[in-house]
Amino acid sequence: MPSEIETRNDSHTSSAVRVSRSQVKKVAVIGAGASGSISLDTLLKENHFSHVTVFERRDKPGGIWCLDEDVGSIPQNVKAGASHELLDPPVENPFKEGGTDYHGKIIASKVAQERFEKTPSYKGLTTNITEKLMTFSDEKSWNVNNDPNYQGQDFVDGLVVQQYIQKYISRNLKDERVSFKTGVVVEDIEKVYGKKDSIPYYFRLMLRRGYNETFDELWQEDFDAVIVATGHYHIPNIPLIKGLPDVEERLPGKVQHAKFYRSPDLYAGKNVLVVGSRASGTDLAKSIAKKANLVYQSIRTPRASFKPDSYGIVQKPIVKKYEVVSSTTFKAFFDDGTESDELDYVIYGTGYQFSFPFLDSLYKESGVQLIKDGTVITDLFQHTFAISQPLLAFVGMPIDGISFRVFEYQAILVSRYLAGKVEMPNRAAMNDWVFQRLQQKGITRAYHTIGITDAFEYIDTLVQLGHIKDPKLSNGRQFPDLDKALVNRFYEEKLKAFWDDGDIQASAKT
């Protein structure tokens, strides 16, 4: 028999994991980007949950597609080799000092540390996934203004995507079962035991929002389950390369990360090295090449199809070391024995680190590691279910691929699980899946990458896990059909055009 989540003893590994139908009624969704908006919509369509609260730390929905034109000064702690623990540590929970039952409010000084709230979006950023694949299955159009003459548009400006998400989430905000709280940061989550009928524990969230210019207001709210939909484009990753710390120390501001890029104007007439070959690195190299004197792009695996002459970009292999050569410039030395001309800037488009500081105390209590090297969330089954925390799920962690549509499949599966309609494998099997994935992909970005190679198999797996055996429980959002021929055709034609042609000047990591 499957083991329901009705015990504080987490030692059960041989029984399937399920939630009883009466267990989860109040759900918290953290984040109001694409994954948060589809999670809300799908939870409501179950007609099972009494209340869903969405917490968004910005003043509007849209996630990474929101545009912050002014990023201000780059945080001083963003350095080569800086870990997510150093960059994004948890905030102290003052309620724990007086016991978790305190339900009043606390007025406290604003948090001084960098929170990395601003997005990596910039003017001119566009999508790189065709409209019919990137949008959700019940809103397959970027027609955010309801234009009756709209003819469809494959690739759109990032602000259109933000408006699409805002429109999608807004259609549910008048539902009496929904609370949508913007400007609110989830700072801590803890388990509270033995306070509700037939449920041994629930989650207590410590929340923060601005009170005035000097102080913040803190309070707590309780939920039966939590969905983390915060995305993964917040904490910059700059690898530690020989000589790079010396450049950072002696030439402040010369080492940058793509998260803080907004315009090519800073690089006019300069020599620039862009490190990274994925979407952000390629976008930046193309954009900066319009105004820079010289642009190098360091690529781990050179692409034979890349046409540097189209942009004046010089393709190079990985950087072996850096050396400062003057009071304003430095050089890069590459793995093939060549070196750059004197450089004015290096920009790292090397991705981001996973960071969930609000889960720090929860995982310390359980003794389970959540994140390895900022790269892999090791406690997740199918990139979705927290193995050691059966009432905690993640939507939106897979990287690349047809992201919005993958998030939709995840949200449907999570909703069915929390409603007690389907069960997950036993914990031993889930941990074995993690082990096998680590054996195949290692502690690398590839672990959570669901590109064209993995997309069909991954989606089929989610559908199989979400199969409802009892036909009486078949209500709710259904898994959409995926046009695999369209996906294959897109990847063969449009994505090749992105790398080789000048038609798509900027594209987002989607």
The DSSP result for 135-202, as a single string, is S-TT-----TT--TT----SS-BHHHHHHHHHHHHHTTTTSTTEEEEESEEEEEEEEEEEEETTEEEE
* Residue 305 confidence (pLDDT) above 60: no
Confirm if 44 and 177 have CB atoms less than 8 A apart: yes
Confirm if 244 and 322 have CB atoms less than 8 A apart: yes
- Identify the DSSP state of 117: -
- Model pLDDT, residue 102: 64
The answer for residues whose C-beta is within 8 angstroms of residue 446's C-beta and 6 or more apart is none
The answer for residues whose C-beta is within 8 angstroms of residue 494's C-beta and 6 or more apart is 128, 130, 154
- Identify the DSSP state of 82: -
- Model pLDDT, residue 494: 54
Average pLDDT over residues 494-499: 47
How far apart CA 79 and CA 239 sit, in angstroms, is 9
Higher-scoring residue by pLDDT: 311, 126: 126
Smallest CA-to-CA distance from 229 within 50, 41, 502 is with 41
Smallest CA-to-CA distance from 262 within 436, 33, 72 is with 72
* Residue 279 confidence (pLDDT) above 90: no
How far apart CA 145 and CA 140 sit, in angstroms, is 14
Tokens of 188: 């801590």
Smallest CA-to-CA distance from 495 within 266, 244, 303 is with 303
Smallest CA-to-CA distance from 236 within 350, 346, 349, 352 is with 352
Q: Beta partners for 108?
A: 216
Tens of pLDDT, residue by residue over 403-445, are 899 999 999 999 999 999 999 999 999 999 999 999 999 999 8
Backbone angles phi, psi at 260, to 5 degrees: -100, 5
* C-alpha torsion 253→258→263→266, nearest 10: 20
pTM exceeding the 0.85 threshold for the entire prediction:
yes
- Model pLDDT, residue 230: 97
- Model pLDDT, residue 419: 97
- Model pLDDT, residue 72: 82
* Residue 103 confidence (pLDDT) above 80: no
The answer for residues whose C-beta is within 8 angstroms of residue 144's C-beta and 6 or more apart is 160, 163, 164, 167
Our CA angle for 133, 138, 141, nearest 5°, is 55
Least confident residue range of 13-27, 89-103, 214-228, 302-316: 302-316
The answer for residues whose C-beta is within 8 angstroms of residue 92's C-beta and 6 or more apart is none
* Residue 500 confidence (pLDDT) above 60: no
How far apart CA 157 and CA 171 sit, in angstroms, is 22
- Model pLDDT, residue 252: 95
How far apart CA 304 and CA 332 sit, in angstroms, is 23
- Model pLDDT, residue 70: 87
In 6-72, at which residue ranges do the beta strands (DSSP E only) sit? 17-18, 26-30, 51-56
Tens of pLDDT, residue by residue over 340-350, are 999 999 999 99
Average pLDDT over residues 259-266: 93
Tokens of 432: 């074995």
Domains and CATH numbers, the chain: 3-67+107-235+353-493 (3.50.50.60), 238-350 (3.50.50.60)
Smallest CA-to-CA distance from 307 within 86, 79, 499, 130 is with 499
Average pLDDT over residues 194-202: 67
Tens of pLDDT, residue by residue over 182-196, are 999 999 999 998 755
Top-confidence range, 108-117, 119-128, 428-437: 428-437
* Residue 110 confidence (pLDDT) above 90: yes
Tokens of 353: 């680190």
How far apart CA 67 and CA 123 sit, in angstroms, is 8
* Residue 8 confidence (pLDDT) above 50: no
Residue type present at position 263: S
Least confident residue range of 1-5, 267-271, 465-469: 1-5
Which residue in this structure is represented by tokens 């259609």? Answer: 171
- Model pLDDT, residue 94: 92
Within 10 angstroms of residue 440's Cβ, the number of other Cβ atoms is 9
Higher-scoring residue by pLDDT: 467, 153: 467
Tens of pLDDT, residue by residue over 218-261, are 999 999 999 999 998 999 999 999 999 999 999 999 999 999 99
